[in-house]
C-alpha cells in the first residue's frame, strides 16, 4: 500500500489518467449491460412465447406484416404505440416482444414500454434475424 501511495505522489498525471480510463471502462460496461437487458434472440423469443405466453407486437408496415409475421403477432404501427401506449394495456400482465425491420426501431419502442412499466423486449436483428434463424412466418 505504501508503494502505491508513493507511486501516485510521484506520478500524479499518470495516476489520474489511469483512474479516468478505469472509470470510463466501468461506465461503458454499465451502459452496454443496460442497453442489452431487453434485447433478445429469436430462440429467446420462442422461449418467451412458449413458456411465458409472450405477446408479439409487430410494428412494421402492413404490407410487410401481411408478407410474413410471427405466429399470433399483433400488427400495431409505431406511431399508435408512441401516441397511446395504453393500447397495449390488455398485454400488461404478459411479456411483450417488439418486432420491427431492425433492432434500432424495436429498441426505441421497447425502451418506451419499459419506462411505462411493461415487461418489453426487442427482437435483436429484427425480422431478418428471425428469418435467418429459420423460424416460421405466417403469411396472410
Give the C-alpha distances (Å, rounded to integers) separating 48 from 14, 29, 94, 117.
Answer: 49, 26, 10, 18
Residue 54 pLDDT exceeds 90:
yes
As a whole number, mean pLDDT of residues 120-140 equals 94
pLDDT of residue 90: 93
17 falls within a domain? yes
Whether residues 23 and 86 fall in one domain:
no
Residue 32 pLDDT exceeds 80:
no
Whether residues 26 and 73 fall in one domain:
no
32's grid cell: 452496454
pLDDT > 70: percent of the chain: 96
Whether residues 66 and 103 fall in one domain:
yes
Whether residues 86 and 17 fall in one domain:
no
Q: What is the pLDDT of residues 67-99, one digit of tens each?
A: 999 999 999 999 998 888 788 999 999 999 999
Backbone angles phi, psi at 121, to 5 degrees: -130, 155
Per-residue pLDDT band for 27 (boundaries 50, 70, 90) equals: confident
Whether residues 7 and 42 fall in one domain:
no
pTM for this prediction? 0.73
Whether residues 21 and 44 fall in one domain:
no
140 falls within a domain? no
Whether residues 55 and 113 fall in one domain:
yes
114 falls within a domain? yes
Mean pLDDT (the chain, rounded): 90
74 falls within a domain? yes
Cβ partners under 8 Å of residue 80, min gap 6: 87
Whether residues 27 and 42 fall in one domain:
no
Whole-angstrom distance, CA of residue 102 vs CA of residue 60: 10
CATH, residue 123: 3.40.250.10
pLDDT of residue 37: 57
139 falls within a domain? no
Domain count, the chain: 2
Of 36-40, 108-112, 135-139, which has the strongest mean pLDDT?
Answer: 135-139
The DSSP annotation for 82-99 comes to HH-GGGGGGGTTS-EEEE
Residue 36 pLDDT exceeds 80:
no
Whether residues 76 and 119 fall in one domain:
yes
Whole-angstrom distance, CA of residue 5 vs CA of residue 78: 56
Whether residues 52 and 82 fall in one domain:
yes
Shortest CA distance to 127 belongs to which of 109, 104, 103, 111?
Answer: 103
Domain containing 80 equals 38-132
pLDDT of residue 38: 85
Amino acid at each position: 500500500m505504501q508503494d502505491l501511495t508513493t507511486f501516485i505522489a510521484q506520478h500524479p498525471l499518470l495516476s489520474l489518467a489511469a483512474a479516468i480510463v478505469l472509470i470510463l471502462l466501468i461506465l461503458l460496461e454499465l451502459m452496454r449491460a443496460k442497453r442489452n437487458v431487453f434485447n433478445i434472440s429469436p430462440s429467446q423469443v420462442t422461449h418467451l412465447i412458449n413458456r411465458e405466453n409472450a405477446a408479439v407486437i409487430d410494428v412494421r408496415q402492413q404490407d410487410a406484416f401481411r408478407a410474413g409475421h410471427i405466429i399470433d403477432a399483433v400488427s400495431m404501427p409505431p406511431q399508435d404505440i408512441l401516441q397511446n401506449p395504453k393500447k397495449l394495456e390488455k398485454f400488461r400482465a404478459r411479456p411483450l416482444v417488439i418486432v420491427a425491420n431492425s433492432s434500432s426501431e424495436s429498441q426505441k419502442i421497447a425502451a418506451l414500454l419499459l419506462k411505462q412499466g411493461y415487461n418489453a423486449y426487442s427482437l435483436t436483428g429484427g425480422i431478418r434475424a428471425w428469418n435467418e434463424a429459420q423460424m416460421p412466418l405466417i403469411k396472410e
